[in-house]
Amino acid sequence: MAGSSHGHTPAAWTGVIIAFIGFCMAGAFTVMANPVGFWIGIAVILLGAVVGGIMRAMGLGQAKDLHPVHKRTGEEFEQREPARTEH
């Protein structure tokens, strides 16, 4: 993942920071036995996802056509073996 610049965008950083703050809030309010504060923290976590998605839609995220994973040709599909499970 390091070679693909995965998550190195303003949209990703902002969404993760907001979600982290919400996670810390929810954890603190859980320890304080405050269910209202806990649910507010959960809402802040979801807000982080929404803000990150909006920022990506505004062009502040990584474009899919620039990501090497999304640039696949027909040859790559033919060369791969299907995944197998052992029983």
- For residues 43 and 21, the answer to whether their CB atoms sit within 8 Å is no
Q: How far is CA 52 from the centre of its chain?
A: 8
**Domain spans of the chain?**
7-61
Residue 77 has what pLDDT? 54
User: Average pLDDT per run of 10 along the chain, which is 87 residues long?
Assistant: 66 93 97 96 96 89 65 57 72
Global pTM value: 0.67
Residue 11 has what pLDDT? 87
- Neighbouring residues of 50: CB distance < 8 A, sequence distance ≥ 6: none
- For residues 42 and 26, the answer to whether their CB atoms sit within 8 Å is yes
Residue 63 has what pLDDT? 72
